[in-house]
């Protein structure tokens, strides 16, 4: 069945990423958060693919059932990408290196699946969980690419996002305190 769930897929990735950044997040809580954003048919599809990963040891064990499941379907669609990315994220137990390698080797739209699996793993484990040589390579490429608009390193972007989050938290706390003072009157 083909259905367009691009918005729900985007919501699933965004919500799962937010969950991954919570202090007590787990691989399972992140996946549950993603699934909660999906309509029933898409959720069933993702759950089917996650089922392939449930008892697998690595990507090799899910590649064949995954390929058979998507046989005859367009090579890239949002739910296929989400399902494969989440399965690789689960299979890698949220470890960034393994998540990306599993997704890259799974087949079909591998770069997009690696984005999902690696993004969630990075949000869960932090930049320190990535192989240093990978981070260095990306940072060097960004700095030396004349077509790259933003020359900030991954670390600078992460630190900027962290500071922005702290600023938003301070604003919310201030607004909450103001509301509480009004209620006390």
132-150 pLDDT, tens per residue? 999 888 888 877 778 877 7
Give counts: helices (H), strands (E), the chain: 9, 0
Integer-rounded Cα radius of gyration of the chain: 19
**Residues of 130-153 as b/e, b for ≥16 C-beta within 10 angstroms?**
beeeeeeeeeeeeeeeeeeeeeeb
Tens-place pLDDT, residues 48-103: 999 999 989 888 999 999 999 999 988 778 899 999 999 999 999 999 999 999 99
Residue 2 to residue 41: CA distance in whole angstroms: 10
pLDDT, residue 159, reads 83
Is the pLDDT at 2 greater than 60? The verdict is no
Residue 161's CB is within 10 A of a number of other CB atoms, namely 11
Residue 154 to residue 140: CA distance in whole angstroms: 10
Residue 45's CB is within 10 A of a number of other CB atoms, namely 21
Q: To the nearest whole number, what is the mean pLDDT of the chain?
A: 91
> Would you call 164 exposed, middle or buried from its count of C-beta atoms within 10 A (0-12, 13-18, 19+)?
exposed
């Amino acid at each position: 069945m083909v259905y367009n769930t691009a918005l729900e897929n985007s919501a699933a990735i965004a919500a799962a990423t937010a969950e991954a950044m919570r202090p007590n997040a787990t691989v399972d809580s992140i996946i549950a958060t993603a699934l909660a954003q999906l309509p029933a048919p898409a959720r069933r599809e993702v759950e089917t693919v996650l089922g392939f990963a449930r008892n697998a040891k690595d990507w090799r064990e899910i590649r064949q059932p995954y390929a058979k499941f998507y046989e005859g379907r367009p090579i890239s669609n949002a739910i296929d990408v989400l399902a494969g990315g989440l399965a690789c994220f689960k299979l890698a137990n949220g470890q960034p290196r393994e998540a990306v390698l599993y997704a890259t080797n799974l087949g079909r739209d591998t770069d997009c699946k690696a984005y999902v699996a690696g993004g969630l793993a990075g949000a869960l484990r932090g930049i320190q969980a990535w192989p240093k040589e990978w981070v260095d390579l990306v940072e060097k490429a960004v700095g030396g690419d004349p077509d790259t608009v933003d020359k900030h390193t991954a670390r600078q972007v992460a630190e900027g996002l962290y500071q922005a989050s702290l600023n938003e938290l301070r604003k919310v706390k201030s607004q909450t305190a103001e509301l509480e003072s009004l209620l006390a009157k």
